[in-house]
Amino acid sequence: MGDFKHGTFHCFDDITTCLITYFLPCITAGKNAEHVNENCLLYGCLGITCVGPITRAMIRAKIREKHSIKGSCPEDFLCHLFCPFCSLVQESLEAQDHGAPKLLPIARE
């Protein structure tokens, strides 16, 4: 079992993901859910309600399981309760490191 490649407070490792998450957290939450084959619309919308920390912790647990990252459900919940944006970014960067597309890919010539 390993650790996340990006620390919880390394939100600025990818400024695009950071800004999208800060202003539109439902997009990042939905993309993270999609990475573990869950309904992106459902989890994206639930992520911004009062049950958000619970639903986002569930997705975080699935991301940890998928990529063999150590941790626990209480840790996942506390991360999303106290540092929701940083946790979403961390999960998104982990998913991108494992082949998920960036949140807003920019076409380059």
Distance separating alpha carbons of residues 49 and 109, to the nearest angstrom? 40
- Report the C-alpha dihedral over residues 94, 97, 103, 107, rounded to 10 degrees: 170
Compute the half-sphere exposure of residue 9: CA atoms within 13 Å on the CB side of its CA: 1
Instruction: Write the pLDDT tens digit of every residue in 1-43.
Output: 789 999 889 888 899 999 999 999 999 999 999 999 999 889 8
Distance separating alpha carbons of residues 70 and 49, to the nearest angstrom? 27
Distance separating alpha carbons of residues 72 and 88, to the nearest angstrom? 16
pLDDT of residue 105: 59
Q: Note if the pTM is more than 0.85.
A: yes
